Amino acid sequence: MTRTELIEKLAADYPGLTKKDLKRVVEAIFEAIMAGLENGDRVELRGFGSFEIRAREGRMGRNPRTGGIVPVAPKRHVRFRGSKQLQQTMNAARPL
């Protein structure tokens, strides 16, 4: 689902709100999540999951085309972990 699809879904569920207002709300939520992660905070949305920043150490990698050794710089990445409620919902929704 894209942001536009999310806004369309919200507009259908809440006809009293304009798409312009819903777009501002969605953007504000995403900005708040990103701001929290930039500050190094863990962002938890109860019943949905949590986001946190993890550090990856630098290492030596290999260029698959040439086979040469390439240094890979250390970096940070976002880790999402779904809540138990989300996992149960997803497992009950569609069997494998």
- One domain for residues 87 and 62: yes
In a domain, 86, yes or no: yes
pLDDT digits (tens, 9 = 90+) for 32-41: 999 999 999 9
Helix (H, G, I), strand (E, B) or coil at 7: helix
| Complete DSSP assignment for 20-64 | HHHHHHHHHHHHHHHHHHHTT--EEETTTEEEEEEEE--EEEE-T
pTM as predicted: 0.75
Looking at per-residue confidence, does 91 or 61 come out higher?
61
Query: Does residue 19 lie in a domain region?
Result: yes
Which domain CATH number covers 67? 4.10.520.10
**Any domain includes 47:** no
Q: Residue 32's domain spans which residues? A: 1-41
Domain membership of residue 46 (yes or no) is no
Within 10 angstroms of residue 91's Cβ, the number of other Cβ atoms is 10
Confirm if 52 and 78 have CB atoms less than 8 A apart: yes
The count of structural domains within the chain is 2
